[in-house]
């Protein structure tokens, strides 16, 4: 899970939200996303790539001492998870279907890299049931992704055990993942896993997340900001 420094995050929430409050919200989004990932059945490890250990919470921390952008941070996390880097030699055996348990797929060869997923850190409404269902669906495909609620981005990208993995996060990531051979999960039902799809970059997205029901840390920040941001709702 890559997490940008809160001081540099969520600039698109301006002008509705000031810089200090944006930073507080970004920390809360990350805290709630990490907590849900850790609590999701079948998830063996959660690694957070960030410049501040506090952002990892109870998850494993992968230090990002320099600001190098999203893709390098993701690459560092994939490497730290022990997954197969793109362009490396394929493993001698890849399991037909991976389970996301213990950081390794059931039935996988001991020498295999584990299945791995990249989850964005700004999913404050995320629920374990949605993440678990998406990961179960992802285990059926070598490479897979979940499109965000706005339709152009990605909130989750996955690779089965031993499959070389180079996710395409960033601008128009949904189209780029599709072009790179990632299978879109839930493509036939855009309403599936709504809490996994609702990342937050804008004021309207934050209001939608609040309507879905956000985690404890984000709820506390929303309550604190309620007087100055009435558009967030109750």
pLDDT in tens, 156-178: 999 999 899 999 999 999 999 99
Residues above pLDDT 90, as percent of the chain: 75
The domain limits of the chain are 11-232
Mean pLDDT of the chain: 87
Q: What is the mean pLDDT of residues 53-58?
A: 96
Confidence band of 94 (pLDDT split at 50, 70, 90): very low
Whether the per-residue pLDDT at 25 is higher than 60: the answer is yes
Pick the CATH number of 11-232 from 3.30.420.40, 3.40.50.300, 3.90.550.10, 3.40.50.2000: 3.90.550.10
Which of 29-43, 49-63, 83-97, 200-214 is the least confident region?
Answer: 83-97
Q: What is the mean pLDDT of residues 200-217?
A: 96
Distance CA 105, CA 97 (A): 8
Whether the per-residue pLDDT at 55 is higher than 70: the answer is yes
Burial 72-101 (b: 16+ CB within 10 A, else e): ebbbbbbeebebbeeeeeebeebbeebbbe
Q: What is the mean pLDDT of residues 192-218?
A: 96
What count of residues does the chain have?
Answer: 234
């Amino acid at each position: 899970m890559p997490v940008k420094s809160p001081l540099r995050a969520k600039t698109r929430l301006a002008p509705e939200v000031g810089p200090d409050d944006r930073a507080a919200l970004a920390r809360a989004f990350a805290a709630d996303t990490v907590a849900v990932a850790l609590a999701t059945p079948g998830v063996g490890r959660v690694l957070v790539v960030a410049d501040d250990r506090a952002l990892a919470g109870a998850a494993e921390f992968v230090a990002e001492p320099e600001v190098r952008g999203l893709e390098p941070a993701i690459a560092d996390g994939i490497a730290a998870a022990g997954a197969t880097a793109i362009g490396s030699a394929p493993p001698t055996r890849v399991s037909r279907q991976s389970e996301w348990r213990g950081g390794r797929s059931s039935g996988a060869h001991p020498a295999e890299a584990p299945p791995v997923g990249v989850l964005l850190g700004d999913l404050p409404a995320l629920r374990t049931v949605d993440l678990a269902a998406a990961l179960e669906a992802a285990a059926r495909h070598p490479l897979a992704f979940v499109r965000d609620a706005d339709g152009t981005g990605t909130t989750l990208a996955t690779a089965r055990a031993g499959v070389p993995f180079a996710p395409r996060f960033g601008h128009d990531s949904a189209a780029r993942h599709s072009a790179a051979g990632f299978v879109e999960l839930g493509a036939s039902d855009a309403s599936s896993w709504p809490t996994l799809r609702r990342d937050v970059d804008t004021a309207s997205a934050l209001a939608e997340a609040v309507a879905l029901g956000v985690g404890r840390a984000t709820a506390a920040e929303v309550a604190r900001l309620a007087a100055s941001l009435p558009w967030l709702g109750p």
